[in-house]
Amino acid sequence: MAKKSLICSIVCGVLGVILVVIGCVLIHVFKQMIHTQIKEHIPLKNGSDTYEDWVVPPAPIYFQVWVFNVVNPDEIIKNGAIPVLEERGPYTYREYRTKKKIDFIEKNATVTYMEDRAYVFDRNMSCGPETDRFTTLNILLVTVLNMIRFEYGAVKEAFQIFLDLFPNVHMFLSLSVHDVLWGYEDPLIKDLEDFIFNWTHKTIPFDDHVGLFYKKNGTDDGIYNIYTGSDDVDKFGVIATWNYNSSLNWWSTPYANMLNGSDGTLFPPFVDSSRPLYLYASDVCRSLEIVYKYGYKLKDIDLLRYVVPPSSFRNVTSNPDNIGFCTPFANLSDTSDCNPGGVLNASVCKQDAPFLFSSPHFLFADDSVLYGVKGMHPSLEKHQTFLDVEPMTGVVMNAAKKLQLNFNIQKIDNITETLQIKKPIIFPMMWLNENAKIDDKSANKFKSEVMGPIKITEAVQYGLITLGVFIIVCVLAIGLKRLLCKRSDSHSPLESLQEEKQPLLQ
C-alpha cells in the first residue's frame, strides 16, 4: 500500500513539473504566434481591416479652437502697454479625413496618397456660434509690416503715407471666429499687393481673402509615400517621401531637415517604451521626437502615453540641435536669427506669412515670451500634445495635437502704430486642439480580435503553470505530512514507556 502511494506521488509530481514546463514553453510559443499574426494582418493592403480604417478613420476627430480677445488695444498702440488677453472657447469643428489618389507601389512596398480634410462647425460642443466676434490683430497689416521691417527707411515712409490714405486701418480690429479661421475679404488686399510688389518685389501670402486656415477646408496637406509594412513590419507607416522629397528644404541644417517617422496616426508594432518615436507634422513643417511618459488603460485597453519633450522647444543655448530652425540662417556663434525658446518661426514654409508656432499659453517657452503678454496660464495637463499608442499594434487610440498660432509685432521706424511698442512681442491669436479618441465600437472590435486571443493564450499558459505548481505543492505537502507522521510514530511516548518497563518484567 505504501509502495503504491509512493508511486502515485512520484507520478503526480512528474506531471506537475511537466505542466509547469509546458506552460513556460507556451509563453514563448504563444508570443511568437501572436507576433506572427500581427505581422500578417498589420500591413496595409487593399481590402484589409487595417486598410479600411486607414482610408476613413472610424474614430471621430474634433478640431477645437480657443481665440484670444485683446482687452486693451488702444493702450498698446498709444502707450506701449503690455497686451492683456482673454481666452474664449472652445469653438469646435468635426473634422473628416479621407485618403484619396491611393497608389500601391509593390517594388518598394510603399503606398502613395493624399488626405482631404473637411471641417463642419458643431454648435453643441462650442461655447458660442462661430459668428462670435473678438478683438484681434489685423492679420493682413501685421503680415505686410513683417515684410517691410528690414527694408530701407524710404520704403517704410512710403508705406506710412499709404496707410494715411486709409484712416480706418489699424493694428487691431474686430473679427468673427469664422473670419479669422477660414478667411474674410479685405478691400485693401489688391492695393497692398501692388504696393509691396512695386517697392520690394515680394508678394503677399494671401489671395483674395485673409485667414489663418484660408483654403484649408476641403484640401490636403501634401503627397505622402509611406511603407506598407508588407516586406518589413518595422517600417510600417514610416514616411518614405513627402511631396516627392525624402527630406525637407526649409531649414539650415541636415538635422532640422530630416523627415522622420510616421504621420502620427500609426506606428510600427511592438512598441518599446524605452525608445522614442518619431513623426512628421506638416502644419509646423518639421519632424518631432516623442517620448514615453506613462502607461494607463483606456476602455480596458493598455496604452502608452507619448509626449513631445521640452527639449524640442528649448532655445539653442539649451539645445544646440535647434540651431537649424533659426531662419534664414544661423550658427552657434551668431544666433541673431533665432527666436526665444518655445517659439518656431514657420514663415519659411508658409509663403512668408509671419506665423510663429508654440505650445498653447507658451508652455515650455522662455520667460521673455510668457510674460510679454498678460493672460497666459500654461498647464501640462491642458496644453501638452500627447499620443496614446497601443504597444502590440502601434495604433494610436487617443491623441491631442495642441498648437498655438502667434505673430511677431515690434517697433518699426516711421510706422506710427508701432512707435510706442517698447520691445518685440510674440502675440498669440488662437490655439487649437486637434483630437481623436477610439470609439466604443472600434474598442470592442479591437478587444475581440486582438486582445481576446491574447487573453486566451495567457489563460492557457498561466493556467497550466498554476495547475502544475498546485500539483507539485500538494505532492510535497502530502510527502512532508507522511514523513512527520512516520517520525512521530517511531518516537511515541507509549512505545518509550513500554521499552522502559520491559527489563523490570524480566
pLDDT digits (tens, 9 = 90+) for 355-404: 899 999 999 999 999 999 999 999 999 999 999 999 999 999 999 999 99
The pLDDT score that the predictor gives to residue 71 is 98
C-alpha cell at 443: 474598442
Return the number of other C-beta atoms located less than 10 Å from residue 379's C-beta. 10
Among 235, 140, 153, CA closest to 185: 140
- Pairing mode, if any, of strands 224-227 and 286-298? unpaired
What would the mean pLDDT of 278-302 be, rounded to a whole number? Answer: 94
Q: Is 89 helix (H, G, I), strand (E, B) or coil?
A: strand
pLDDT digits (tens, 9 = 90+) for 190-247: 888 898 888 888 888 888 899 999 989 889 999 999 999 999 999 999 999 999 999 9
The pLDDT score that the predictor gives to residue 4 is 65
**pLDDT tier, 123 (very low <50, low <70, confident <90, very high otherwise):** very high
pLDDT digits (tens, 9 = 90+) for 435-494: 999 999 999 988 887 766 666 676 666 676 776 677 777 767 776 766 677 666 665 554
Among 168, 148, 331, 157, CA closest to 251: 331
- SS3 annotation, 383-426: HCCEEEECCCCCEEEEEEEEEEEEEEECCCCCCHHHCCCCCCEE
Which of 7-16, 170-179, 183-192 is predicted least confidently?
7-16
From the number of C-beta atoms within 10 Å of its C-beta (0-12, 13-18, 19+), residue 153 rates as exposed
List CB contacts of 20: < 8 A, sequence separation 6 or more: 464, 465, 468, 469, 472
> Within its chain, how far is the Cα of 404 from the centroid?
14
- Please, are residues 355 and 205 in contact by the beta-carbon 8 Å criterion? no
Q: Find the farthest-apart pair of alpha carbons in the chain and give their distance in angstroms, rounded.
A: 143
What would the mean pLDDT of 165-182 be, rounded to a whole number? Answer: 94
- 474-481 LR contacts (CB < 8 Å, sep 24+): 474/12, 475/9, 475/12, 475/13, 475/16, 476/13, 478/9, 479/9
List CB contacts of 487: < 8 A, sequence separation 6 or more: none
Domain range summary for the chain, segments of one domain joined by +: 1-43+450-475, 59-438
